[in-house]
Amino acid sequence: MIHIEYLMVLSLIMLFIGIFGFLTQRSTLAMLISIELMLNAADLNFVAFNRIIYDNNQEGYFFTLFSIAITAAETAIAIAIIINLYRTLRKIDVKHLSELKW
Amino acid sequence: MNTTTLMFLIFAVLAVIFSVLTITTQRIIRAATYLLAVLLCTAGIYFTMDYAFLGAVQILVYAGGIVVLYVFSIFLTSQTNKDEEDDSLRSKIVSVGAVVAGVALCSFIVLTHKFTNTILIDSTQYDISVERVGQLLLSPEYGGMLLPFELISVLLLACIITGVIIARKH
């Protein structure tokens, strides 16, 4: 039998690994990958609480579905922006991104 | 310990290991591959929790769509070998402090809170049929998800338009 604490600890560890990666990485693509880890951890929590709280309505289940769709949209836009950055600056490190437009 | 518990533990341990590898590796293409492994382990956890449709969506959209997009963009933005950053030590110390404090606080809350119903996976069948998922997605009644569903479609349309505008040559 699996208790909810196991899954919450797993998602807690995954979330903070993502936060640590987001704070320490310098490449924008690597930061985006860390954001994926954080979103994945949040999805796990939604599903776990769906099982515990909502027996009939499945709100957490659908929020995970919607969250996956939103993640796909967010990734597509972010990667478009990063490729645009690479086109103009030839670099994708965050420390070169001090100017927004010129 | 039955098979489901064993599978859950295997997937959980693998997910943690691959998460650590994702952020510690130096090559970004390896980070994308490890991220794929983390997402597949998460899908496996969904399968052990009897949410088969959710696991399938996770594999289709995440592993099939998003990771491929990452690999694509990694190849498009050819990586220069990273020059070792100057302020890395200070920012690493601050990050480690923030993460340790956050883990301590959150795990304190999680482990001291008494949940009333804590059994997540047992021998009961929980699966939601795809038919029920479709009905709930288009139902305006209580528990139905019509409004978020429509919002998501508007969001995806906005995403398509934005992608075209950003990627257009000036």
pLDDT for the residue B170: 66
Q: State the count of interchain CB pairs (< 8 A) between A and B.
A: 201
Whether residue B128 contacts residue A61, with contact meaning beta carbons closer than 8 Å, is answered with yes
- What is the model's pLDDT at position A101? 61
Q: Residue B123: pLDDT above 60? A: no
DSSP line for A9-78: HHHHHHHHHHHHHHHH--BHHHHHHHHHHHHHHHHHHHHHHHHHT-SSS-HHHHHHHHHHHHHHHHHHHH
pTM reported for the whole predicted model: 0.88
With an 8 Å Cβ cutoff, are A20 and B23 in contact?
yes
Q: What is the pLDDT of residues A56-77, one digit of tens each?
A: 667 888 889 999 999 999 999 9
Q: What is the pLDDT of residue A41?
A: 94
Please choose, from the candidates A23, A22, A15, A14, the residue with its C-alpha nearest in 3D space to the C-alpha of residue B92: A23
Reference B14, options B40, B46, B52, B51; nearest CA is B40
* Residue B25 contacts residue B51 (beta carbons within 8 Å): no
Please compute the mean of the pLDDT values over residues A76-86 and round it to a whole number.
88
pLDDT tens-digit map of B11-39: 999 999 999 999 998 888 899 999 999 99
User: How far separated are the first and last CA of chain B, in Å rounded?
Assistant: 61
pLDDT computed for residue B87 by the predictor: 61
Whether residue A88 lies within 8 A of chain B, CB to CB, comes out as no
The tokens 């956890």 sit on which residue? Answer: B45
3-class state of residue B91 by DSSP: helix
What value does the mean pLDDT take over residues B98-112?
Answer: 91
Those of residues 14-53 in B touching chain A at CB distance below 8 A are 15-16, 19-20, 22-23, 28, 31-32, 35, 38-39, 42, 45-46, 49, 51
Look at residue B15 in the predicted model and tell me its pLDDT: 94
Per-residue model confidence (pLDDT) at position A82? 87
Residue B125 has pLDDT above 90, yes or no: no
A83 touches chain B (CB under 8 A): yes
8-state DSSP, B117: -
Q: Phi/psi class of residue B121: alpha, beta or left (left: φ > 0; alpha: ψ in -120 to 50)?
A: beta
Whole-angstrom Cα Rg for chain A: 17
- Please tell me the predicted confidence (pLDDT) of residue A74: 92
CB B143 within 8 A of CB A56: yes
